[in-house]
Structure formats: C-alpha cells, structure tokens
C-alpha cells in the first residue's frame, strides 16, 4: 500500500514511519511541505501522492498552550483533520486519525475503563479539540479509523518518561512529587504504531481504544521507571491539585481495547513489559539526554 503519514517528525509519527516502511511505500512530507491546515495544500498533495491510506499523526499536543492558543489549536487539531478527511473522501482513500482518552472526563470510578461507545465529556481545551477532530473525521471520511490512546512515550518528542527523568536527575536526593490519584495505561508509541499497522492491514474501521495492558498510577509509574534505571531519587505521593496545572486532567484515563479484542486484532502488551523493552533499548540514551539537559 501507499501510505501518507502527516506529523512524521513527532513521537508517534516517527514510529509509524519506521513500522510501516517495513512492508509499504511510505511518504512523509514535512510540515513545511504539507501544512494540514491549508485545504489547497492538502488537495494538491493528495492529488500528487495518491495514497491508499492517510495516517494523521499531526497535532497540537501542548496541553498548557491549548488553554490559551484557541485559534491555533482549532486550526491544527480540528480544521487539519477535517481537511484530510474531506480529501480522503474526494480521493477515495482510508484515513487513520489519532485522538485521545482526554475526550472523557475521567470521573468513572476506578478501575472501570472507558469503552469506545461511552459518552465523551472533555474537561480541557485539548480534550475538546480532540473530540471535535473526531466529529470532523466521522462526518467527512467514509472509510476511517479513529484511534484513542493515552499517555504515550517514545524516544522522540516530549513525554512522561522524559519529564520524570529530567526532574529526577536534577533533584537527586530531593524527593520527586508525583500524583497518586491519576491512573493510565502508559503506552509505547512503537507498540501503538504496530497496532495501527495491524488495523490498517486487516481493514479495520471505526473508533478503537488502543492502550497498553494493565494500568498504574503516575506514582507507581515513576517508581517503576526510576528503579529500572537504578536512579535513587526518592519519590513522594502528591495530589493532582498540588501540581497546579493550568488545565484539567482526567483522573481515570483507563481505556478498554474492546473493539480490537473483539475482532482478534489486539497486539498491545502489558505496560510493564513494554516499558522494560523500551528502557533496555533506550535507557542509556535517555539518561544521557536527561543529564545533558
Ligand atoms: N502524546 C500523547 O500522550 C498522546 C496520547 C494520545 C493521543 N495523542 C495524539 O497523537 C497524535 C500524535 O501525538 P505526538 O505526541 O506524537 O505529537 P508530537 O510529538 O507533538 O508531534 C506532532 C507532529 O505534528 C506536526 N504538526 C504540527 N502542526 C502541523 C501542521 N499544521 N501540519 C502538519 N504537521 C503538523 C509536528 O511537526 P513539527 O515537529 O514540524 O512541528 C509533529 O511532527 C496527536 O494527534 C495527539 O493528540 C498523543
């Protein structure tokens, strides 16, 4: 298949690029070559490339900036996906769009996960934009896959693994304060790229929840990560409110991969297993980068 990937310089996009190139022709225009917010550019590029599948990994992902930069957020997270969805309809190709568990408010009692057909109710500007992106894709592309995931980490881009390590190496013996009441299934972007490839190859359709197996609190995650890398920085629990985020974060971010499991297409594995594999591969590099920053 001919696969067009937008956002291929980002955390998930770079993994999709690597994983799809193993078996497919992959085209990855840079943002300057294909800015998804321009309808004219999108149409011109689609006409030129004529892909079988568009995978949209482009997005405005800075949750703090989302609260204040409404115009830009809407352009990139809503109008961009709408342009791609309309273009996918015009050129008869499939569209894969990446959304997020932040379309839910996280108020379900733990450990109940959210299912694909639960009513969404976002509580942040980022979550609202992702929900609107889903509506734009569903309403315009006749053949789409919407992927909802959460708490991605990888070797590229900003993510929870890197921010915990950056703080841990600067604090040394001063304790790192991490919330104990926020729960998720931290997901390796590489594994998610493999899962997206499986869905595309098996002609999946519709909205899928796709996160790693199992779950943990952010506190448990930080402790597991530091122990695995033999960092001695102490970790102390705190409340989500103590972090003074200028945006609301859902407390329960658990997503059940119900549809992919139902169709025998789930390739996600337990979060601890994937985090261990990730650290075996990149642990030294991550520590070096954290110390150099
Ligand atoms: N990170 C998570 O935990 C998480 C969880 C669930 C879902 N998601 C979703 O997954 C997707 C990918 O996330 P990520 O963390 O991999 O993002 P990321 O690392 O922030 O990468 C975003 C990518 O989008 C590109 N981009 C931004 N504006 C663009 C535009 N106007 N036209 C074309 N490309 C543009 C960026 O290019 P430049 O580098 O050139 O700016 C970059 O390649 C996003 O839709 C995000 O909402 C992320």
pTM: 0.98
Give the distance between the most distant pair of CA atoms in the chain. Answer: 58
DSSP string, 160-201: HHHHHHHHHHHHTTSPEEEESS-EE--EEHHHHHHHHHHHHH
Q: 57 CA to middle of ligand 1, Å? A: 5
With a 6 Å cutoff on the Cβ, whether 58 touches ligand 1 is yes
- Written in H, E and C, the secondary structure of 10-26 is CHHHHHHHHHHHCCCEE
With a 6 Å cutoff on the Cβ, whether 134 touches ligand 1 is no
Question: What is the Cα–Cα distance from 13 to 20, expressed in whole angstroms?
Answer: 10
With a 6 Å cutoff on the Cβ, whether 149 touches ligand 1 is yes
Nearest Cα to 97, choosing from 126, 133, 142?
A: 133
Q: 157 CA to middle of ligand 1, Å? A: 9
Task: List, in order, residues 6 or more apart from 193 with CB less than 8 Å away.
Answer: 12, 15, 16, 18, 19, 20
pLDDT at position 106 is 98
Token pair listed for 233? 């920085």
What is the chain's alpha carbon radius of gyration, rounded to the nearest angstrom? 19
With a 6 Å cutoff on the Cβ, whether 154 touches ligand 1 is no
Token pair listed for 216? 């943990």
Question: What is the Cα–Cα distance from 9 to 15, expressed in whole angstroms?
Answer: 9
Q: 173 CA to middle of ligand 1, Å? A: 34
Q: 11 CA to middle of ligand 1, Å? A: 7
CA torsion angle for 162, 195, 216, 104 (degrees, to 10)? 100
Phi, psi of 78 (to 5 degrees): -120, -55
Residue ranges in the chain modelled with pLDDT below 50: none
User: What is the CATH number that goes with domain 2-153+187-211+254-268?
Assistant: 3.40.50.720
Please identify, by atom number, the ligand 1 atom nearest to the C-alpha of residue 158: 19
Question: What is the Cα–Cα distance from 103 to 100, expressed in whole angstroms?
Answer: 6
With a 6 Å cutoff on the Cβ, whether 13 touches ligand 1 is yes
Q: How many CB atoms lie within 10 A of CB 85?
A: 23
With a 6 Å cutoff on the Cβ, whether 253 touches ligand 1 is no
Q: What are the CA-CA distances from residue 255 to residues 19, 90, 150, 186 (Å)?
A: 24, 33, 8, 11
Q: 22 CA to middle of ligand 1, Å? A: 22
**CB contact at 8 A, 4 and 58:** no
Per this entry, what is the length of the chain? 293
Token pair listed for 10? 């980002």
- Hey, is 147 helix, strand or coil? strand
Segments making up each domain of the chain, as ranges: 2-153+187-211+254-268
Residue from 58, 124, 132 to probe ligand 1 pocket by mutation (most atoms less than 8 Å from CB): 58
Token pair listed for 243? 């972090």
With a 6 Å cutoff on the Cβ, whether 152 touches ligand 1 is yes
């Amino acid at each position: 298949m001919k696969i067009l990937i937008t956002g291929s310089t980002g955390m998930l996009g770079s993994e999709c690029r690597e994983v799809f190139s193993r078996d497919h022709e992959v085209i990855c225009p840079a943002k300057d070559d294909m800015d998804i917010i321009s309808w004219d550019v999108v149409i011109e590029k689609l006409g030129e490339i004529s892909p079988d599948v568009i995978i949209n990994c482009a997005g405005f992902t800075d949750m703090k900036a989302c609260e204040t930069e409404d115009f830009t957020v809407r352009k990139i997270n809503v109008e961009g996906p709408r342009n791609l969805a309309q273009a996918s309809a015009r050129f008869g190709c499939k569209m894969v769009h990446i959304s997020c568990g932040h379309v839910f408010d996280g108020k379900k009692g733990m450990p109940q996960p959210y299912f694909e057909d639960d009513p969404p109710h976002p509580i942040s500007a980022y979550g609202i934009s992702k929900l609107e992106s889903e509506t734009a894709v569903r309403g315009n592309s006749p053949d789409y896959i919407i992927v909802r995931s959460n708490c991605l980490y990888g070797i590229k881009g900003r993510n929870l693994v890197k921010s915990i390590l950056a703080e841990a190496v600067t604090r040394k013996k001063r304790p790192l304060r991490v919330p104990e009441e926020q729960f998720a299934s931290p997901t390796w972007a590489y594994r998610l790229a493999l899962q997206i490839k499986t869905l595309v190859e098996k002609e999946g359709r519709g909205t899928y929840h796709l996160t790693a197996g199992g779950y943990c609190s952010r506190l448990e995650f930080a402790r597991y990560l530091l122990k695995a890398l033999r960092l001695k920085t102490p970790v102390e629990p705190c409340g989500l409110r103590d972090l003074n985020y200028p945006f609301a974060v859902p407390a329960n971010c658990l997503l059940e991969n119900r549809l992919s499991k139902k169709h025998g297409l789930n390739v996600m594995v337990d979060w601890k297993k994937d985090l261990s594999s990730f650290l075996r591969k990149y642990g030294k590099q991550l520590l070096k980068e954290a110390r150099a920053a």
